[in-house]
Structure 1
Amino acid sequence: MDKAYQCPVEATLDVIGGKWKVLILWHLKGKVRRFSELKRLIPNITQKMLTQQLRELEAEGLIHRRVYAEVPPKVEYSLTEYGKTLNPILEMMCQWGAEHINQVEERKTVAPENN
């Protein structure tokens, strides 16, 4: 590790932070996916950004990239055993997000209208 971190959360964010990495990890949770599947599941990500994020996650040892010797080339991505250690965190983020969506919706229905 070349970088000195002030706290462990900083190290975690350095690896999985940003707009796309957690979504990629979520979609690979328990599944093997092809590039085109990930692109379809995350429609707002550009092809260039998806490629970059996949490479970074692979470099961190979180995902495995398997290339088949076919024409056209077939490439599949999956979580490594190390990447699977993030599954409980991803599940907790999903649960928190669902609760947050409910909170936002409740505030909308309870908030007085400003007419």
Structure 2
Amino acid sequence: MNKTINKRNHRYSVYLNDIEAEVAKQKAKQFKMQVTALMRHLVLAQPLPASVPPLNLAAWVELSKSAANLNQLAHQGNLTGMVSIKEAEAELIEFRRALVNAKIPRRRRR
């Protein structure tokens, strides 16, 4: 790739009032970005990274552990042709527990 094409050598200054600056900082913090990177994304109509609420992130972590264990059992079964019914049952119970206890916020109706 040609480095001169991707080099950022054009600078634009923008003045914001206190409220606008605070909104920009909060939005950037929400997406874990620098304010300048956020503005670049918005100006270029690039998609912003997904913002995962902490509650959903905690549920995702819990479910991913159980899903990984189930995947290992499936892999073992595919390799050997045998799976421990007790292990599979225990993992399915744990996965069900994680699903039931996952606190997924409901979408608001518009």
TM range (shorter): under 0.3
The structure with the largest alpha-carbon Rg is: 2
In terms of fraction of residues, the more helix-rich structure is 2
Bigger strand share: 1
Q: What's the TM-score, normalizing by structure 1?
A: 0.26
> Which structure is richer in relative contact order (CA contacts within 8 A, separation 6 or more)?
1
With the length of structure 2 as denominator, give the TM-score of the two structures: 0.27
